Chain A
Amino acid sequence: MSSGTIAPPATGLPRTRIEAHSGRRRLLWRNVTAYAALSLGSVLMIIPFLWMLSTSLKDDRQAYVFPPIWIPSPVAWNNYLDTWQALPFNLFFLNSAFVSLILTVAQLATCSLGAFAFARLRFPGRERLFVLYLATLMIPFQVIMIPLFVLVKEFGWIDSYWGLTIPLIFSPYGTFLLRQFFKTIPLELEDAAKIDGCSWFRIYWNIMLPLSKPAMATLGIFVFMWSWNNFLWPLLIVSSLEMKTLPLGLAYFLGQYTIYWNLLMVGATIALVPVLVIFFFAQRYFIEGITLTGLKG
């Protein structure tokens, strides 16, 4: 993909300070430096992925050859088909998409409700409850894993979508993030609504949420990305092949004695693409609108 094909995101927006106050020559010079620096950085960032992509297109022999080669020859396109057929990746893909989607929607709902209460409603013990809530972020998952598993088993949710989603819906991180954002929205708006006799829910639904689209989009992509790659919990919950998610599928390429590098890299590439596409297209909804100012405790 060439960077030149992408139009600037917002032609109609006010011109930046650079464009408004600099001469054309200076602007050009700045752009050249910016492109050079950004490209160099990108190359450094992307080298591991070029290696990943390159490995995914090598046959077994080429994958392990030393000195390493960057351009596979012949290109083993069939790795992609082989990987897809070696295991029911269709199913893994659908499971991952389904679980991530459910988690994203559900976390956005619970976190925004909770964040609204923590940011805007006055009730006794609010700060203490919030700190307690935040404190749970500080417990490593490894220690609550076993009790949580026991609990989920009592619910009969082992090896089910319930077990994959419900215990992960309640997120202190998301609540924290949204609370910080809600605190930046001017109070005047909701004071006006209160005078009009709006219920708290109406204020949340009609004022807070529409104004918080960028923050919601940010949290949304974080949650989606995180659950798309989540490994440990699905590993415990899922037993059947047809319930597995993509990261569990990738683990098949790690044998007891060998790593199937080219197939693993195929899987990793396949897993990467959807989230990247979402990020590429969604960024203008959040990067260009969110603010986290007003983090006052």
Chain B
Amino acid sequence: MATSAPAWRSPANWFGPEYRNPARRREVRAAFLFLLPNVVGFLVFMVGPLLASLGFSLLDWNLLSAPDMVWLGNYLELFRDAEFWRSLRATFYYLVGSVPLGLVLSLALALALNQRIRGIRFFRTVYFIPVVSSMVAVALMWRWMYNPTSGILNYMLNETFAFLRLPLRAPDWLQSPVWAMPAIILMSVWKGMGYNMVLFLAGLQGIPRHLYEAAEIDGASNQRQFWTITLPLLTPTTFFVLIMSIIGSFQVFEQAYIMTQGGPVRSTVTTVYYIYENGFEWHKMGYASAVAWVLFALILGVTLIQWRTQERWVFYE
């Protein structure tokens, strides 16, 4: 190779000096091959449609007649759109209500189910039932259970209040602008608890037993063992669960779609529900896409912040 040739001409230099090593280059080639199926699928079935939706977001388009290019018009419009802000508030309400509660409950459940007692597999299966059942059927069933005039939940609650002579009445749940979102959160936590429980159980299994044995010898109480061993060593799992739960909460849709249709008084119109309304009911796909991209930016921002702060609290061996 001529020494006068600029260094960037040689492919060996493209990736920086460490890739001059042939073994390194083989590694890069291997990585390429390993990633090939993913990358091809990723490009075709995700990036393609994603770019399309990014393109839609610049259009005033009812999906069928010729679109008008409005550039950032949709984005400017949505900042003035009270319904969009309302939907963001509803989404945050859901997130703040469901993520911490779900996280704490599923961790507690995992701790309780991380024992070697008879029938533990049965109990784990029971707690996993909501996870494996179809969201459509389960959400419908809860809607019925929540029904103040014919649902089993209020019937049981009111009977209990009457029995205890408490001057209380069960709320109207999905028919009340105040209670509708808590009702959706309650149902969602019930539905999703078992999912995170499995991940936490897996994490608990990964904590080396000898650490506990050493702590026992030192005379550490169970409570102390939990705070000094279990919780810190579980943080990587917690981190994964937290990131996924938050992403999932930002995208909450089906519950509202099936249980409340966004009502009452649009108190349960989440952002994805608003996207769906715009795109599929009102045929404003351009606007729907713009809302989706703003939501995307928001989720990305929140996730990146979590990623950055993980060093402060996530404990790696």
| Chain B residues with CB under 8 A of A291 | 202-203, 205-206
- For this complex, into which size category does the number of interface residues on chain B fall? 35 or more
| Chain A residues with CB under 8 A of B295 | 140
CB distance from B117 to the nearest CB of A (A): 6
A122 within 8 A of B: yes
B296 lies within 8 A of A295 (CB): no
| Chain A residues with CB under 8 A of B314 | 295
| Chain A residues with CB under 8 A of B240 | 176-177, 180, 292, 295
B144 within 8 A of A: yes
Q: Which of B35, B49, B190 contacts A113 (CB 8 A)?
A: B35
A189 within 8 A of B: no
CA distance A102 to B38 in the complex (A): 16
A45 lies within 8 A of B130 (CB): yes
Which of B77-85, B176-184, B261-269, B285-293 contacts its partner?
A: B285-293
A148 within 8 A of B: yes
- For this complex, into which size category does the number of interface residues on chain A fall? 35 or more
CB distance from B197 to the nearest CB of A (A): 9
Q: Which of A148, A231, A272 contacts B129 (CB 8 A)?
A: A272
| Chain B residues with CB under 8 A of A138 | 247, 250-251, 296, 299-300, 303
Task: Given A41-B112, A296-B316, answer yes or no on A124-B16 (Cβ-Cβ < 8 Å).
Answer: yes
The secondary-structure label for the interface of chain A is: helix
A286 lies within 8 A of B118 (CB): no
CA distance A289 to B145 in the complex (A): 38
CA distance A169 to B40 in the complex (A): 11
| Chain A residues with CB under 8 A of B45 | 148, 151, 166-167, 170
| Chain B residues with CB under 8 A of A272 | 129, 132-134
Task: Given A8-B117, A48-B141, A287-B201, answer yes or no on A139-B130 (Cβ-Cβ < 8 Å).
Answer: no
Q: Which of A6, A68, A151, A173 contacts B44 (CB 8 A)?
A: A151
Task: Given A46-B126, A114-B35, A136-B42, answer yes or no on A265-B310 (Cβ-Cβ < 8 Å).
Answer: no
A161 within 8 A of B: no
A180 lies within 8 A of B236 (CB): yes
Which of B2-10, B26-34, B94-102, B165-173 contacts its partner?
A: B26-34
B120 lies within 8 A of A114 (CB): no
Task: Given A138-B300, A144-B50, A292-B206, answer yes or no on A283-B134 (Cβ-Cβ < 8 Å).
Answer: no
| Chain A residues with CB under 8 A of B118 | 3-4, 6-8
CB distance from A131 to the nearest CB of B (A): 8
Nearest residue, chain A, Cβ from B239: A295
B140 lies within 8 A of A287 (CB): no
B27 lies within 8 A of A135 (CB): no
B218 within 8 A of A: no
Nearest residue, chain B, Cβ from A118: B35
A255 within 8 A of B: no
CB distance from B309 to the nearest CB of A (A): 11
| Chain B residues with CB under 8 A of A19 | 116
Q: Which of A3, A20, A151, A214 contacts B49 (CB 8 A)?
A: A151
CB distance from A211 to the nearest CB of B (A): 13
Task: Given A9-B120, A38-B113, A294-B236, answer yes or no on A143-B289 (Cβ-Cβ < 8 Å).
Answer: yes
B136 lies within 8 A of A247 (CB): yes
| Chain B residues with CB under 8 A of A109 | 37
CB distance from B242 to the nearest CB of A (A): 11
Residues of A within 8 A of B (CB): 1, 3-4, 6-10, 13-14, 16-21, 31, 34-35, 37-38, 41-42, 45-46, 48-49, 51-52, 64, 66-68, 109-111, 113-114, 116-118, 121-124, 126, 129, 133-140, 142-144, 146-148, 150-151, 166-167, 169-170, 173, 175-177, 180, 184, 199-201, 204, 214, 218, 222, 225, 228-229, 231, 246-247, 250-251, 254, 259, 261, 264-265, 267-268, 271-272, 275-276, 279-280, 283-284, 286-297
Task: Known A-B contacts: A124-B16, A133-B38. Give 13 more (CB < 8 A).
Answer: A31-B117, A49-B133, A68-B152, A110-B38, A117-B34, A142-B279, A143-B56, A147-B48, A166-B45, A170-B37, A200-B26, A267-B137, A297-B307
Residues of B within 8 A of A (CB): 14-16, 19, 24, 26-28, 30-32, 34-35, 37-38, 41-42, 44-50, 52-53, 56, 63, 109, 112-113, 115-138, 140-142, 144-145, 149-150, 152, 155, 190, 193, 195, 198-199, 201-203, 205-206, 209, 212-213, 216, 233, 236-237, 239-240, 244, 247, 250-251, 253, 272, 275-276, 279-280, 285, 288-289, 292, 295-296, 299-300, 303, 307, 310, 314, 316-317
Q: Ordered nearest first, which 10 A-B pairs have the shortest CB separation?
A: A291-B206, A3-B119, A170-B41, A268-B137, A147-B52, A290-B202, A147-B49, A144-B49, A117-B34, A114-B38
